[in-house]
Amino acid sequence: MSKYPEKEAYNLGIIIDKNTHAIVQGITGAQGSFHTRLMLEYGTKIVAGVTPGKGGTKVCNIPVYDTVEEAQENHPVDASIIFVPAPFAADAALEALENGIKILVIITEHIPIKDSIEIMEYAKRVNATIIGPNTPGIITPGKSKLGIMPAHIFKPGNIGMVSRSGTLTYEIASSLTRKNLGQSTCLGLGGDPITGLNFIDTLKMFENDSQTRAIVLIGEIGGNLEELTAEYIAREKYPKPIVAFIAGRSAPPGKRMGHAGAIVMGKAGTAESKIKALKEAGVKVAEKPSDVAKLLRI
């Protein structure tokens, strides 16, 4: 790691860096205020919070506004992290998008599919990046985090991680960290069927990120995005090594395994199909979480 000359130039991360100015929508809630404190402690530039009806108050010494519009009149804003409860989350996300915010991290779980489709359609039109919903967020270790992940298990390095699962990311990241394999950026796509960024979008970003040498891809049952990603990897002859882990080999069909998106429908969305497709595309697939570190070393 010493080969990187300057700390400043090292580890810029994808999507966010230490100069990203963010607001927290839903900052006055239990989760919102708790994680605002942790993000500030990590060095993230949280400039303002928004909770309708709580304008004029403060959380962790950060000013709270009633609207995103007002927050923007008073602060530079590049990104928003959303903790707003599911029934109101779409309104919050659309408010951020209409006010020109181009990076959204939606932590909220249980947002209806119809609402997510509406958010994603708007984001596509205005060329905004959405992480989530139902995501732990994004962390560029040592620089910045817009999310709820426990920071101490990560360390700066050159492994990029992209995942559909929060705690499984923590499990694998902490095993990498213990084995001195630091991370460039770790990004949770979210456990919902409809999410903003997907594996392919993120792989493209990691490809262009000079700090990322190898990628860990953590998928799970449900949908066929892992299969489509495998097709992409093979077709584009993806230049960086990828190690994958797919959760849900023991999941029965028709049952939703915790995540809204984790469901095998008939024969579609099985772990076997994803593992097979990834292996055929030349991706090393780990049998157990701890094997990921071993496969990265080979």
Partner 1 sequence: MKLFEYEAKNILSAYGIPTPKGELATSVDQARKIAEKLRPPLVVKAQVLVAGRGKAGGILFADSLAKVKKVAEKLLKMEIKGIPVKSIWIEEKIEIKKELYFGITTDRLNKSYVAIASSIGGMDIEEIAEKHPEKIIKFLINPKMGLRSFHARQIARKMGYEGSQLNAIGKIFERLYKINIDYDAELIEMNPIVETAEGKFVAADARIIIDDNALFRHPQYKKRFFESESELFPQEIEAMKNNLAYVKLEGNIGVIGNGAGLVMATLDTIQLYGGKPANFLDVGGGASAEKIAAALKIVLSDPDVKTLFINILGGITRCDEVAKGILEAKKKIEVTKPMVIRLVGTNEEEGKRILTEVGIPVLDSMEEAAEKVVEISRKGGL
Applying CB under 8 A, which residues contact partner 1? 31, 86-87, 110-118, 120-121, 124, 136, 148-150, 153, 163-171, 174, 191, 193-195, 198, 218, 220-221, 223-225, 228, 245, 247-252, 254-262, 266-268, 271, 287-290
Our CB check for partner 1 shows the closer of 163 and 211 to be: 163
What is the C-alpha to C-alpha distance for residues 23 and 244, in angstroms, rounded to an integer? 33
7 three-class SS: coil
Strands (E), 44-168: 45-50, 58-59, 62-65, 79-82, 103-106, 129-131, 137-140, 144-147, 156-163
Nearer to partner 1, 37 or 213 (CB): 37
Q: How far apart are CA 13 and CA 185, in angstroms?
A: 6
Nearest partner of 32 among 17, 56, 16, 52, judged by Cα: 52
Query: Smallest gap, in angstroms, from Cβ of residue 165 to partner 1?
Result: 2
Query: Kind and range of the H or E element at 273?
Result: helix 271-280
Query: Which residue is it, tokens 């909770």?
Result: 51
Mutual angle of helices 271-280 and 225-235, in 10-degree steps = 0
For residue 262, give the nearest of 219, 202, 199, 200 by alpha carbon.
Answer: 219
Catalytic positions are 259
